[in-house]
């Protein structure tokens, strides 16, 4: 596993190089895109990005959990979580065979 992480700044710089906009326009474009995705997920809409994958909000019911160190039971509250399912194209690009 690699310890390399792609950062927001690196994505912004890549947009500058590939699209030819200013760094500020690139940062604004990325921020707006991420805001739109976040707002859609907040409204429990599925976000489908062709050739990349789908983001879906799932509801998880409350349940009893267990502290792995002590073995003591503890309640886990109901919550919503975001899941990601990669597209077949992305899976093959990174070498996944699922």
pLDDT at residue number 94: 92
Task: State the DSSP string of 27-79.
Answer: HHHHHHHHHHHHHHHHTT--EEETTTEEEEEEEE--EEEE-TTT--EEEE--E
pLDDT at residue number 2: 59
pLDDT at residue number 96: 60
pLDDT at residue number 83: 97
Q: What is the mean pLDDT of residues 89-96?
A: 89
pLDDT one-digit tens code per residue, 77-90? 999 999 999 999 99
Report the distance separating Cα 29 and Cα 35, nearest Å.
10
| C-beta separation of 30 from 8 below 8 A | yes
pTM, full prediction: 0.77
H or E segment to which residue 86 belongs: strand 79-86
């Amino acid at each position: 596993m690699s310890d390399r992480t792609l950062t927001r700044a690196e994505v912004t710089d890549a947009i500058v190089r590939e699209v030819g906009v200013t760094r500020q326009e690139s940062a604004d474009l990325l921020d707006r895109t991420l805001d739109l995705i976040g707002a859609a997920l907040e409204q429990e809409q599925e976000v489908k990005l062709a050739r990349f994958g789908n983001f879906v909000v799932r509801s998880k019911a409350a349940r009893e959990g267990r502290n792995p160190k002590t073995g003591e039971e503890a309640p886990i509250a109901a919550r919503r979580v975001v899941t990601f399912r990669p597209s077949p194209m992305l899976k093959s690009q990174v070498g996944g065979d699922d």
